[in-house]
């Protein structure tokens, strides 16, 4: 069964469509890199999947549960926003405990390995408000992976991270994929897209223009890098065409 399904999804703000006619199916054990220019609909797509905004048309399913109808689907999600905001007066440890209570997590059921691999042990007693942006991103990463979600949504996850921490995070993504998670990542780093993505989803003007494996794009364009292959491929498509595989 497909893990995440978009069926004719559209979102309108006033008279402006931010998303229109998005159809896609994402499988367990798949990493999908969501890319596109500013204003293409990436953020709206994520917000619709997370249930933060309601779709104007169409439906989204997670593990067979419809977003906006069955709140139980939220238990399947792990989310790392690009800019995380947490209560500044809480310590890191207090935040983790609070999230355990919210998630009704049993003792020993959480995956806390990223606390160690991202070097957060020494910061557990520090208040969130005293942490740098990069450290808050690490806390956000821990929370996204901590409850072993079957669907991970990561919004520019390596932004603000040092190179070593970024590599650690991407290794965690690869492990989650091996364990059967479906991972959606927004990124503007084409090297990450090419190396990590099983498929890339390219949005433009609110429409899903391309949903293909990176190697397919490279093969059909006879290019060695996605930064050259994708523009070349898009130039060959009619304006309303959607290519998927």
Share of the chain above pLDDT 90, in %: 87
Q: Average pLDDT, stretch 126-143?
A: 96
Question: What one-character DSSP code corresponds to residue 56?
Answer: S
Q: Which domain holds residue 16?
A: 4-244
Helix axes 226-235, 214-221, angle to 10 degrees: 70
| pLDDT tens string 181-197 | 999 999 999 999 999 99
Q: CA torsion angle for 58, 64, 68, 74 (degrees, to 10)?
A: -140
Helix (H, G, I), strand (E, B) or coil at 85: coil
Q: Average pLDDT, stretch 122-139?
A: 96
| pLDDT tens string 80-127 | 999 889 999 999 999 999 999 998 887 677 899 999 999 999 999 999
pLDDT of residue 227 exceeding 60, the answer is yes
Q: Using alpha carbons, select from 26, 176, 47, 56 the residue that is nearest to residue 114.
A: 176
The CATH number linked to 141 is 3.40.50.300
As a whole number of angstroms, the distance between CA 192 and CA 116 comes to 24
Q: What is the model's pLDDT at position 238?
A: 72
Using 50, 70 and 90 to split pLDDT, how confident is the model at 17? very high
Helix (H, G, I), strand (E, B) or coil at 214: helix
User: Could you give the maximum distance between any two Cα atoms of the chain, in Å?
Assistant: 56
Using 50, 70 and 90 to split pLDDT, how confident is the model at 78? very high
Number of domains in the chain: 1
């Amino acid at each position: 069964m497909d893990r995440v399904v978009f069926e004719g999804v559209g979102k309108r703000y006033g008279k402006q469509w931010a998303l229109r006619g998005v159809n896609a199916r994402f499988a367990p054990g798949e990493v999908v890199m969501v890319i596109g220019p500013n204003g293409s609909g990436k953020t709206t797509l994520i917000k619709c999947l997370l249930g933060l905004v309601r779709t104007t048309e169409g439906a989204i399913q997670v593990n067979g549960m419809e977003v906006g109808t069955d709140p139980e689907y939220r238990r399947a999600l792990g989310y790392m926003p690009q800019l995380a905001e947490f209560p500044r007066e809480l310590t890191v440890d207090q935040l983790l405990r609070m999230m355990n209570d919210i998630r009704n997590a049993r003792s020993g059921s959480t995956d806390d390995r990223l606390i160690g691999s991202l070097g957060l042990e020494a910061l557990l007693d520090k208040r969130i408000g005293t942490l740098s942006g990069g450290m808050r991103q690490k806390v956000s990463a821990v929370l996204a992976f901590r409850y072993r979600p079957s669907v991970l949504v990561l919004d520019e996850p390596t932004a603000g991270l040092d190179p070593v921490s970024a590599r650690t995070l991407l290794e965690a993504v690869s492990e989650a994929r091996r364990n059967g998670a479906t991972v959606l990542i927004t990124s503007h780093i084409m090297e990450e897209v090419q190396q990590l993505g099983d498929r890339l989803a390219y949005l433009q003007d609110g429409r899903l223009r391309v949903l293909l494996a990176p190697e397919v794009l490279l093969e059909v364009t006879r290019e060695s890098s996605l930064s050259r292959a994708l523009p070349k491929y898009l130039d060959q498509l009619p304006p309303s065409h959607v290519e998927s595989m």
